[in-house]
Amino acid sequence: MKWHVLRPLWVAIGLIGAILVARVFLVPDDFGVHGRNFTYGYHRLGNIQEWKDFPVKYQGREACIECHDENVEALNSSTHTAVECENCHGPAIGHPDDVELLAIDTTRDLCLRCHAFLEYPNSDRAELISIVDRRHRRRKECIACHDPHDPTESTR
Amino acid sequence: MPEETIVHGVEWTVKELFVYPNEFIYWSIQIVMYPYMTGLVAGAFVLSSLYHVFGQKQLKEIAQFSLVFSLALLPVAALPLLLHLQQPTRAMGPLLTPHFTSAIAAFGIVFTAYALIVLSEIWFVYRKYFVEQVYALKDQPGLATAMRRTVYRILTIGAYDIDADAIRVDKKAATVLAAIGIPVACFLHGYAGFIFGSVKANALWMSPLMPVIFIMSAVVSGIALCMLTYIVIREWQAFRSRRKGGVIEASQIKGAETHVIDIATRYLIGFLVAAISLELLDLIFRGYTAMKSWDILRSVMYGKDFMNIFVLQYTLGNLVPFVLLLLPGRTLKRTVLALLLVLFGVFMMRWNVVIGGQAFSLSFSGYMHYEIPIIPHSVETFKEGLFGALTVITVPFVLFWIINKFVPSLQREVTGD
Amino acid sequence: MSCSRRDFLKEAVGGTLASVLPLSAFTFLSTAEAKAAIAESTLRWAFLVDTTKCVGCGLCVKACKNENEIPYDAPVTRTWVERYVVTKDGTTHIDSPMGGRDGYTSMEIDGEEIDPDDIDKAFFVPKLCNQCDNPACVQVCPVGATYQTNDGVVLVDRDWCIGCGYCIMACPYGVRFFHPVHKVADKCNFCYHRISKGMEPACVECCSFGARRLANIKDPDDPVTKIITTERVAVLKDEYGTKPHVFYLGLDANVR
């Protein structure tokens, strides 16, 4: 038998070995089956914590009430009670450290998201108090007349 | 448009009617090129194996050439994937942490195994030549020659034994490798079909026939490309030797061998018939069972993509070359035309699978059109555009030219008998 | 010396092989084992969408994009709201411009003004990742960059994703996309960073109409779980066998 025939095999084994050694250095230690099974749970364990540490932007009404209790109370007793503060005021991350960060959306477009009249039968949308955009004081911002914290009250 | 709003796919996708917001043609021209090039690799190898394993002596000449050409095509099967990846630096990922429930995870492993088989087989076929070169170039002057000799020394991997016994063992090893190589080549390409066939979300792709269809059309395209390249190179050599006279050895003056072409054509037609039958079976089955997706599939196949599927692929790419090859009195020119059409037909088949599969929305209520970027204005539009595809097509020929500098796959009678 | 070197090599290679081929990576849990593992956990996130309550304001989409740092003007989004208008001639008009990010403020669909008298029914359907029990997207990931956590949420590892797009192709719901900045696959994860701190997902918190709600379906006392278990809920595209965990109230047959 001529043993030279095995030479390509040694090269191949060397290559496979190189890949296996590279794996040791390149694959994170916490990579493996962590969930239900190999099909759905093969991953880097540390990534779960990385996602948990993703910064929260919207802080919720509980955060606002700490300083702005008057506004929150007014809102709570109005028909807009279901509207989150941050829907109009923007996500409160970084506030109040940087007050500039919170840009209040006072545009007509924001109000129209709910209050533009869409004549849809069987849809709650048609039940909302609404306007036909082009027929209702087109050039004015809504808040010029309506108080968003208590929309039944006129600011005029 | 600011950089951060340019979503992958938005530059070449045109939506019509209702398409989910996140849907774009994510798999574009490079994913068309990928199975096309993989198919050429697999096909070229199968052609070479017809000689090495099944003893088709008439194919000897084209077989040696095919083997080396399949090596030149090999890196190019991976190139489209590399160009397509959004994170090309992580391309080794599937080898590092292969998730074997994914069809793509097998790619790295099957591809590496296949590459090793091809390389080893070539080594066994040409080892005698390498050793001879090392001795022939010994004591010859010049740095270039010395470097050339070094390359050959490396290529021998230290095995200088070329007595009759050793050569017989080499031959046997090459045959064994070719035999192992056939199923691996089919697997390499069959699973490219599996990548598409197993996507249950895609109504056009999901079919158990997909891997088989891919293998058949792969062999068709591989044989066609090898024949075509063989004819062109042979005729070019003949032409050049006629013009200059006596520069090239007498044995090379004659052009492409008719009997080689004849027998290769026979195999080509056989595989072509198998490929078309399977594709038509798939189509008929979809129409007959008329599942939920059939409405939108029909509107794509018989409407929007009619030209691509029935005119370009089936008629121009399959039927016409089929007739051209079968009609009596076949000339070399007609063969070349038929081969070009076959290659085009297989390309259109890949196109119609990959792009056609994304021509309709997952909502079954809308369509997407692929507008291939012609003039690149960014890396992305180059990679996933016409010029990216042309790069992929060019590379194997450049590689073949380089490999041929060291491995004389086009010379006659290099390995004896 | 040579002997000890050989031993060293032997051990090094053996050790390498042992450490790089964790057998656990290749074992598949039996069904019984898998069930036991799941039963132990007391948390499995699910979602309830009440399509009858959605008015199409799109504030959930806006909040989602802000919360999850998806470029605001990019045409991709982790959640979106579709509008369906079924007219008397039997046609279903569907649209979702920019995923409904700016809300629906006009009767026009795809450049077509629809006469209210022709409308049989019209409604809005919020969509998001279904956090399937058998996620097709996870099954096809070649590198293990996307996976299901023990509480049922499917996450994407941005440091490991190679960006092949196979998961995007495999999802029957079209919820996945390439993040335009990170260049990796991205999708809704129920605001995993929020729900793991006891907060609501951003879209849920921002919804003024109670159309979106989060549930722990392992907790029988969870009010949303009670709705899912006692009322008639539906899921999207059941036929793919993915076992989606976003449940819908009032789902119409026209919804795609």
ipTM of the complex: 0.90
- Stated as kind and residue range, the H or E segment containing A22 is helix A7-26
Tell me the residues of chain C between 59 and 78 that have a Cβ less than 8 Å away from chain A: 59, 63, 66-68
In the DSSP assignment, the letter for residue A55 is: P
pLDDT of amino acid C32 = 56
If you write DSSP's letter for every residue of B173-223 in order, what string do you get?
Answer: HHHHHHHHHHHHHHHHHHHHHHHHHT-TT-TTT--TTHHHHHHHHHHHHHH
Q: Which of A1, A4, A26 sits opposite B159 (nearest CB)?
A: A4
**In this structure, are residues B385 and B372 in contact, taking their beta carbons and an 8 Å threshold?**
yes
Q: What is the DSSP code (8-state) at residue B99?
A: -
High-pLDDT (> 90) share of chain C, %: 82
Q: Report residue B141's pLDDT band, with 50, 70 and 90 as the boundaries.
A: confident
Name the B residues in 352-371 with CB < 8 Å from any C CB.
361-365
Backbone angles phi, psi at C241, to 5 degrees: 70, 20
Handedness of CA B326, B331, B337, B343 (dihedral sign): positive
CA C118/CA C85 separation, integer angstroms: 10
Cβ contact, residue pair B97, A4, below 8 Å = no
Fill in the amino acid letter for C3. C
Comparing C120 with A99, which gets the higher pLDDT?
Answer: C120
Distance of CA B287 to the CA centre of its chain: 30
Of B291, A41, B354, give the one whose Cα is nearest residue C240.
Answer: B291
Q: Is B164 on the interface with A (CB under 8 A)?
A: no
Rounded to the nearest 5 percent, the helix, strand and coil shares of chain C are 30, 20, 50
Suggest the residue from B109, B120, B162, B198 to mutate for an interface test with chain A (most A CBs closer than 10 A).
B120
Q: Is the peptide bond before A96 cis (omega within 30 degrees of 0)?
A: yes
pLDDT the model gives residue A101? 75
pLDDT at B252 over 80: no
Q: Distance between alpha carbon C36 and the CA centroid of its chain, in Å?
A: 25
Q: Which residues of A touch C57 (CB under 8 A)?
A: 113-114
Whether C54 contacts C81, CB under 8 Å: yes
Helix (H, G, I), strand (E, B) or coil at C82: strand
Q: B356: number of CA atoms within 13 Å, CB side?
A: 28
* Secondary structure class of B406 (helix, strand, coil): helix
Q: Kindly list the residues from chain B whose CB atom is less than 8 angstroms away from the CB atom of residue C180.
A: 3-8
- The kind and range of the H/E element at C50 are strand C45-50
Judge contact between B42 and B218, C-beta under 8 A: yes
Q: Is A17 an interface residue toward C (CB < 8 Å)?
A: yes
If one counts every other C-beta atom within 10 angstroms of the C-beta of residue B43, the result is 30
Quote the CA–CA distance of B105 and C144 in Å, as a whole number: 10
Nearest CA in chain B to A16: B112
- pLDDT band for A150, please (50, 70, 90 cuts): confident
Say if the Cβ atoms of C172 and B200 lie within 8 Å.
Answer: yes
* Calpha distance B364→B362 (Å, rounded): 5
% of chain B surpassing 70 pLDDT:
95
The mean of the pLDDT values for chain C is: 89
pLDDT tens digits along C1-45: 444 555 544 554 444 444 444 444 445 555 555 555 555 678 999
Q: CB within 8 A of A97, min separation 6: which ones?
A: none
**DSSP label at residue B96:** H
- Report yes or no: B165 at the A interface, CB cutoff 8 Å: yes
Would you state the structure tokens that stand for residue B88, as one six-digit string?
């090309």
Cβ contact (<8 Å) for A7 and B157? yes
A113-125 residues labelled b (16+ CB within 10 A) or e (exposed): bbbbbbbbeebbb
* Contact call for residues C238 and C107 (beta carbons, < 8 A): no
Higher pLDDT, B413 or A60: A60
Tell me if chain C has a CB within 8 Å of the CB of A112: yes
B17 Cβ under 8 Å from any chain C Cβ: yes
User: Nearest to residue C130, comparing CAs of C235, C252, C241?
Assistant: C235
pLDDT at B417 over 50: no
Evaluate if residue B11 carries a pLDDT over 60: yes
Higher pLDDT, A111 or B411: A111
DSSP code for B2? -
Task: Select the residue of C139, C180, C256 nearest B5 (Cβ to Cβ).
Answer: C180
Contacts of B289-292 with C-beta under 8 Å, sequence gap 24+, read: B291/B203, B292/B364, B292/C239
- Which of B33, B59, B31 is closest to B46 using CA atoms? B59
Q: How many Cβ pairs closer than 8 A exist between chain A and B?
A: 46
The number of helix segments (H) and strand segments (E) in chain C equals 8, 12
Contact A8 B158 (CB under 8 A): no
At A30-46, the pLDDT tens digits run: 999 998 899 999 999 99
**Is residue B247 scored above 70 in pLDDT?**
no
Do the chains contact at B124 and A12, CB–CB below 8 Å? Answer: no
- The residue-averaged pLDDT of B277-305 equals 94
Alpha helix (H) ranges present in chain C?
Answer: 2-20, 31-40, 59-67, 136-139, 166-170, 192-195, 202-206, 223-230
Alpha-carbon gap, residue B129 to B414, rounded angstroms: 7
Q: Do C172 and B364 touch (CB under 8 A)?
A: no
Question: Which residues 38-97 in chain B show a CB within 8 A of chain A?
Answer: 92, 95-97
Beta bridge partners of C236: none
Task: Collect all residues of chain B within an 8 Å Cβ-Cβ radius of residue A7.
Answer: 157-159
* Residue ranges of C 183-212 with Cβ closer than 8 A to chain A: 189, 192-194, 196-197, 199-200, 202, 205-206, 208-210
Q: Is the pLDDT reported for residue B241 higher than 80? A: no
Q: Which of the two residues, B74 and C195, has the higher pLDDT score?
A: C195
- Residue showing tokens 């195999």: B267
Q: Where are the alpha helices (DSSP H) in chain A?
A: 7-26, 38-41, 46-52, 61-65, 69-76, 85-89, 108-115
**Of B269, B273, B276, B278, whose CA–CA distance to B207 is shortest?**
B278
Beta bridge partners of B17: B366
Note whether B124 contacts A: Cβ–Cβ < 8 A: yes
Token digits for B183?
Answer: 């199923």
Measured CB to CB, residues of chain A less than 8 Å from chain B are: 1-2, 4-5, 7-9, 11-12, 15, 19, 22-23, 26-27, 31, 38-39, 42
**Residue whose entry in the numeric block shows the structure tokens 């121009």:** B316
Which amino acid appears at position A14 of this protein?
G
pLDDT at B17: 93
**pLDDT tens for each residue of B39-85:** 888 888 888 888 888 877 778 878 888 888 888 988 888 899 999 99
Q: Which chains touch B (3 or more CB pairs under 8 A)?
A: A, C
* Cβ within 8 Å of residue B81, ≥6 positions away: B30, B34, B91, B107, C164
Q: Return the SS3 of B390.
A: helix
Nearest CA in chain B to C146: B99
Contact C138 A51 (CB under 8 A): no
Binding-face residues of C in 216-245 toward A, CB within 8 A: none
The pTM score is 0.89
Range of weakest confidence among A64-78, A135-149, B212-226, B246-260: B246-260
DSSP B345-377: HHHHHHHHHHTGGGSB-TTSSEEEEE----S-S
In this predicted structure, the answer to whether residue C133 has a pLDDT above a threshold of 90 is: yes
Residues 30-69 of A with CB under 8 A from C: 31-44, 47-48, 50-58, 60
The residue extents of the domains of chain B are 9-406
Q: Do C144 and A58 touch (CB under 8 A)?
A: no
Neighbours of B304 (CB within 10 A): 16
Chain-chain contact of C193 with A52 (C-beta, under 8 angstroms):
yes
What is residue C11's three-state secondary structure?
helix
pLDDT of residue C20: 45
| Residue A1: pLDDT over 80 | no
Beta bridge partners of C147: C155
Between vectors from CA C97 to CA C92 and to CA C99, what angle results, nearest 5°?
100
CATH 1.20.1630.10: does it fit domain B9-406? Answer: yes
pLDDT of residue C4: 53
